[in-house]
Amino acid sequence: MKIENDIALVYNLYVDDLFTYGTYLGFNGEVVKDAIHDIFVKITIDRDILNDVSNIKFYLLRSLKNRLIDIYKRQKGQIPLEEIDAAVEVPFNIHVNVEDLIIEREEKIQIKADIEQMLNALTDRQREI
């Protein structure tokens, strides 16, 4: 049996490294655990994901980093209810920082590379169409 097909084995083999990496990136332990479980739920649903992966550990670390970034982006603008005082108006501010710009630029570069790779896989006739 290939390691890619045994999700429990992959989980047990890499969960500690994933948790350490996620907390090293500065995320709360509970958030890291949730992100790790999200990754393995995705892998469990679509088991073919790991068949094309040459380095499982690198794939899992990158998936964790991407998932944590998604969680960070989603939670960044949220204010916990405990911190909201009903008498105080909540300001509406939009802040763009360098980190957001860098992440956006990297995402655009990745999308462009993916599109170029797909176009290169087409025949000349397919490209023309």
79 band by pLDDT with thresholds 50, 70 and 90: low
Look-up of token digits 């964790």: 64
User: Do 66 and 113 lie in a common domain?
Assistant: no
Predicted TM-score of the model (pTM): 0.55
Q: Are residues 9 and 47 in the same domain?
A: yes
Q: Tens digits of per-residue pLDDT, 89-117? A: 556 666 667 787 888 889 999 999 988 88
Mean per-residue pLDDT, 79-90: 58
Q: Are residues 53 and 113 in the same domain?
A: no
The answer to whether residue 82 is domain-embedded is no
Give yes or no: residues 98 and 64 share one domain.
Answer: no
The number of distinct structural domains making up the chain is 2
99 and 67 assigned to the same domain: no
What is the C-alpha separation between 5 and 16, in angstroms, rounded? 20
| Residue 84 reports pLDDT greater than 60 | no
What is the extent of the structural domain holding 33?
1-77
My answer on whether 62 and 103 are in the same domain is: no
Tokens of 97: 């920082």
Q: Which helix (H) or strand (E) holds 28?
A: none
Residue 83 lies in a domain: no
pLDDT, tens digit, 9 for 90 and up, residues 20-45: 999 988 888 899 999 999 999 998 88
Quote the strand ranges of 7-125, DSSP E. none
CB-facing half-sphere around the CA of 86: CA atoms within 13 A:
0
Is residue 123, in this structure, part of any structural domain at all?
yes
- Residues 8 and 66 reside in one and the same domain: yes
In the chain, % of residues over pLDDT 70: 81
**Quick check: is 101 in a domain?**
yes
